[in-house]
Amino acid sequence: MITLANITGSAPKRVLPGFGLSLGISLTFVSLMLLLPMTSLFGQLSGISLAEYWRIITDGRVVASYIVTIGAAAVAALVNAAFGLLLAWVLVRYDFPGKRLLDALMDLPFALPTAVAGITLATLYSSNGWMGRLLDPLGIQVAYTWVGIALAMAFTSIPFVVRTVQPVLEDLPNEVDEAALTLGASDATAFRRVILPHLWPALVTGTGLAFVRSLGEFGAIIFIAGNAPYETEITALMIFVRLQEYDYVGASAIASVVLAVSLALLLAINIWQGRFIKRLHGGRG
Amino acid sequence: MSATSLFRRGALGASLAAALTAGMVTPSVAAERELLNSSYDIARELFSAINPEFIAWWQAEHGEEIDIQQSHGGSSAQARAILQGLRADVVTYNQVTDVQALADDGLVAEDWQDAFDNNASPYYSTTAFLVRKDNPKGIESWDDLVREDVDIVFPNPKTSGNGRYTYLAAWGFADDQFDGDEEQIHDFMRTFLGNVSVFDTGGRGATTSFIERGIGDVLISFESEVNNIRGEYGSDDYEVIVPPVSILAEFPVAVVGPNAERNGNLDLAEAYIDYLYSEDAQRQLAGFNYRVNNEAVAEEFSDQFPETELLRVEDVFGSWDAAMEDHFANGALLDQLQRR
């Protein structure tokens, strides 16, 4: 008997149309949405020599901005990793009134224009704001310091951690930790040896995405950063300044550094994750 | 409608709106012809007051119903949008260099500064100070701003034309004070820049930092802007100080020839700019605390604008091009003065 599989070759039936068509559309889409802007970005760079490029991206003030940006993004990502994990845990494992609301609230940073977030945070944390007034006597300055920058980054990137950990946690039934406990593991051991390994890949991906998102954030940070040269200037501002000077090449050069770092990190996470999952499943994954 | 009530939104609201709508075109009802005016960030209130008057005037003169659309944003970003294809008919900016960027690209006539009176600047202003009630730090002039106990707020000269004027005004003062002695001028400027608490990217952001966040002892901005702020936030809480020496800030206008021609708006565009020089428009401009050249109007509002020595960028720095190249270009003096 002739089956559908025989007609279309060995491939089993899929919901979406044939491989050729779907891959074709995917590639066209990727080219238009991602590769074309990237190409034009790097096209801007073709006019300068390598020495010139190096001079632009290693300018003292720009380097200072890398340190501020990467440092603050790292702090923001780590804070988000801890609290994002906790939030996902609470949302998955417990039932409480207002859970739906809290769940919906998690996406708010994606929905809110980042500039609005930045202005709101600056209002709250400046020395005459609600929070700033409480922190000021303790000698803690948030607005117009790098702490403010990290805060704005943490705000805009928290959904990445929550939303990547949440589904994985949902797939991990209660029985797993109960089994660990009945087998004599302490709470800490059960968390560390049983639960965490399952969440680890998702947590690292979420944290990585949050970090990369923070590297490129502009709108939310610019209002709370204070933008003092060498101290609280972020790399995105350096790019903005070059554009103000009609210096497209300089802007593209600095942007290419951010892009390269982001891409390298995302790639590293992907590769590491593949290996980790393989190891977790004893090479069968 | 008075300038104050138009300004009523407040700096926070305005900077929110600015952040959200930067570069967006205000939608409006359809009319036969539409003129697009590309303007600087803080001119929203100004042109929403002037445009209806011009539309009415044109209707009365030519019996034609027209409409004017506004586009506001940082003036460099606005010029960049036109370079990249935005079909604005006229530009009304706060920086000569941004019109010049269009002229360099052939979008504005090479001799655009001669096309209209006063270097194609229908109104002008200067850089002035806003201090807190009763001027507790006793700030009267530029040399008070380099004192150790004074914190300054003004927008980043790297990203804001407004900030560049402040920088040039301080330099002009120091140049005068120290008789052109470079080392002393540089020291003065280094201290001046070091006293800045927050470098916001634009004028409204700096206003928000000073007013809403209570940062700094003095806000430096256009005289028009500090007067509007004082009117808005209460004349009891703030005082305007116009220093005895400051810089002439021109607000250059030009017709974007190729665009206006293609849009069939050439006559309209020229009439619009001419209208800005009319007595009616000049009175409105003065109401928004801009200084004007129309003698009758200037006389009428003379109480509002203290006499002060206004330095011209061309006289102190040679030309705008030279000022940009020597001071604001990447790695130039501003960068050197801020270097650690």
Q: Contact A150/A76 with Cβ under 8 angstroms? A: yes
Q: How far is B154 from chain A (nearest CA, A)?
A: 11
Query: Residue A76 pLDDT more than 90?
Result: yes
Fold that domain B126-248+308-338 belongs to in CATH: D-Maltodextrin-Binding Protein; domain 2 (3.40.190)
Q: Which chain B residues are closer than 8 Å to A241 by Cβ?
A: 156, 158-159
Domains B3-122+251-304 and B126-248+308-338 share a fold: yes
The ipTM estimated for the assembled molecules is 0.73
**Contact between chains at A242 and B215 (C-beta distance less than 8 A):** no
Rg of the Cα trace of chain B? 20
**Contact between chains at A246 and B80 (C-beta distance less than 8 A):** yes
Answer whether B195 touches A (CB < 8 Å). Answer: no
**Contact between chains at B101 and A246 (C-beta distance less than 8 A):** yes
Q: How confident is the model at residue B104 (pLDDT cuts 50, 70, 90)?
A: very high
**Contact between chains at B12 and A119 (C-beta distance less than 8 A):** yes
- pTM to 2 decimals? 0.80
**Contact between chains at B335 and A61 (C-beta distance less than 8 A):** yes
Given this model, what pLDDT does residue A185 score? 83
Please name the residue of chain B whose CA is at the shortest distance from the CA of residue A132.
B213
Q: Is residue A203 part of a domain?
A: yes
Q: Is residue A193 part of a domain?
A: yes
**Contact between chains at B201 and A127 (C-beta distance less than 8 A):** no
Q: Return d(Cα B32, Cα A269) in angstroms, integer.
A: 58
Give the pairing of strands B218-222 and B152-153. Answer: parallel
Query: Residue B186 pLDDT more than 70?
Result: yes
Q: Which chain A residues are closer than 8 Å to B12 by Cβ?
A: 119, 123
Answer whether B208 touches A (CB < 8 Å). Answer: yes
Q: What is the 3-state secondary structure (H, E, C) of chain B?
A: CCHHHHCCCHHHHHHHHHHHHCCCECCCCCCCEEEEEEEEHHHHHHHHHHHHHHHHHHHHHHCCCEEEEEEEECHHHHHHHHHCCCCCCEEECCCHHHHHHHHHCCCCCCCHHHHCHHHHCCEEEEEEEEEECCCCCCCCCHHHHHCCCCCEECCCCCCCHHHHHHHHHHHHHHHHHCCCCHHHHHHHHHHHHHCEEECCCCHHHHHHHHHCCCCCCEEEEEHHHHHHHHHHHCCCCEEEECCCEEEEEECCEEECHHHHHHCCCHHHHHHHHHHHCCHHHHHHHHHCCCEECCHHHHHHCHHHCCCCEEECHHHHHCCHHHHHHHHHCCCCHHHHHHCC
A141-150, A224-233, B229-238, B327-336: least confident range: B229-238
Fold that domain B3-122+251-304 belongs to in CATH: D-Maltodextrin-Binding Protein; domain 2 (3.40.190)
Q: Which chain B residues are closer than 8 Å to A61 by Cβ?
A: 335, 338-339
Mean pLDDT of chain B: 88
Answer whether B146 touches A (CB < 8 Å). Answer: no
Q: Is residue A275 part of a domain?
A: yes
Question: A186-207, pLDDT tens digit by residue?
Answer: 888 888 888 888 899 999 999 9
List the domain range (segments joined by +) for residue A238: 45-280
Mean pLDDT of chain A: 88
Domain spans, chain B: 3-122+251-304, 126-248+308-338
- Which whole number is the average pLDDT over B189-214? 91
Answer whether B12 touches A (CB < 8 Å). Answer: yes
Question: B255-280, pLDDT tens digit by residue?
Answer: 999 999 999 999 999 999 999 999 99
Greatest Cα pair distance, chain A, in angstroms, is 84
Q: Is residue A61 part of a domain?
A: yes
Q: Which chain B residues are closer than 8 Å to A234 by Cβ?
A: none
Q: Return d(Cα B7, Cα B49) in angstroms, integer.
A: 11
Q: Is residue A173 part of a domain?
A: yes
Query: Residue B1 pLDDT more than 70?
Result: no
- Which whole number is the average pLDDT over A248-274? 92
Query: Residue B52 pLDDT more than 80?
Result: yes
Q: Is residue A62 part of a domain?
A: yes
Please name the residue of chain A whose CA is at the shortest distance from the CA of residue B158.
A241
User: Judging by beta carbons within 10 Å of its beta carbon (0-12, 13-18, 19+), is residue A41 exposed, middle or buried?
Assistant: middle
Q: How far is A175 from chain B (nearest CA, A)?
A: 49
Taking Cα atoms as reference points, which of A171, A172, A168 lies closest to residue A206?
A: A168
Q: How far is A218 from chain B (nearest CA, A)?
A: 12
Question: B107-156, pLDDT tens digit by residue?
Answer: 999 999 999 999 999 999 999 999 999 999 999 999 999 999 999 999 99
CATH number of the domain encompassing residue A162: 1.10.3720.10
Q: Return d(Cα B250, Cα B122) in angstroms, integer.
A: 8
For residue B330, report the phi and psi dihedrals to the nearest 5 degrees. Answer: -60, 125
- Which whole number is the average pLDDT over B171-187? 94
Q: Is residue A8 part of a domain?
A: no
Q: Is residue A4 part of a domain?
A: no
**Contact between chains at A229 and B16 (C-beta distance less than 8 A):** no
The β-bridge partners of B152 are B196, B218
Given this model, what pLDDT does residue A12 score? 59
Q: How far is B16 from chain A (nearest CA, A)?
A: 7
- How many CA atoms, within 13 angstroms, populate the side-chain half-sphere of residue A92? 20
Question: B292-321, pLDDT tens digit by residue?
Answer: 999 999 999 988 899 999 999 999 999 999
In total, how many domains does chain A have?
A: 1
